[in-house]
Amino acid sequence: MMTAVSPSDPVLRIVRAAVFTVVCVVVSAGGHFYAGGAAVAPGVVFAGAGAAFALAYGLNGSERSRGAVLAATIGAQAVLHELFALAGPGDDLSARHSHTSVGMVLVHLTVAWLTGWWLHRGESAFWLLLRLWGAAPLARSRWLLADPVTIPTPVRRTVPVGESVSCAPWELTTTVQLRGPPARRHAG
C-alpha cells in the first residue's frame, strides 16, 4: 500500500535542503575562486554550507513559488558572498572587501536568478512526480488506457497497364488552381 508523501517529511526536507545547499555553495565558491584566484578555505565552505542548509531547511516545509525560491537563492548568494569575502586572504578588511562592485553584485544576482530558476524548475518537476506517485493507480495509468490515435491509411487504386494516370490527384489540381488572393468584389 502506498502512502502519501508529506512536504513536511524530515527526510524529504533534508534532501531538498541538501540540493539547494550544494548548488548555492558550489556556484558561489566557484565564482569566488575564479574572481579572486584563491580557493575558499574548506572550513569557510562548510560554514557557508551550514548557513545555506539552515536557510533551505527552514523554508522548505511546503512547495515554494518561483519568487520564494529566487528570494532564497539571492539571500544565500548574499550571505555566502559576505562570508567568503570576509574569510578571504589578507589582513586588511577594506582590501578584502574592495572587490565588491556593481559588476560583482550583477554577477551574484545573475547567478542567483539562474540557479533559482533552475532549482524552481527542479522543485516543480519533483512535486509533480510526487503528486503523480500519490495519485490513484487508475489515474496514473489513465494514459495507458486511452484510445490510441489512429492515422487513416491512404486509399490506393491500382491502374491497369495501358491506362495513363494524371500525376496530380483532383484535390491537388483544384487547390493549385484556387491559389492566389481572393477575387475583388465591388460593393454595389
8 A C-beta contact, residue 57 and residue 5: no
- All three cell numbers of 156, joined, read 490506393
| Cα atoms found within 13 Å of the Cα of residue 167, Cβ hemisphere only | 0
63 contacts 127 by C-beta, under 8 angstroms: yes
Place of cell 492515422: 151
Answer whether 59's CB lies under 8 Å from 72's CB.
yes
Tell me: the pLDDT tens digits for 137-162? Answer: 655 566 666 666 677 777 777 777 77
List helix spans (H) across the chain: 10-36, 42-59, 66-86, 93-96, 102-134, 137-140, 142-145, 170-177
pLDDT digits (tens, 9 = 90+) for 13-63: 888 889 999 999 998 888 888 877 678 889 999 999 999 999 889 888 777
Give residue 95's pLDDT.
Answer: 47
Model pTM score: 0.60
* Cα–Cα dist 102/19, whole Å: 29
Q: Residue 107 contacts by C-beta under 8 Å, 6 or more apart in sequence?
A: 31, 35
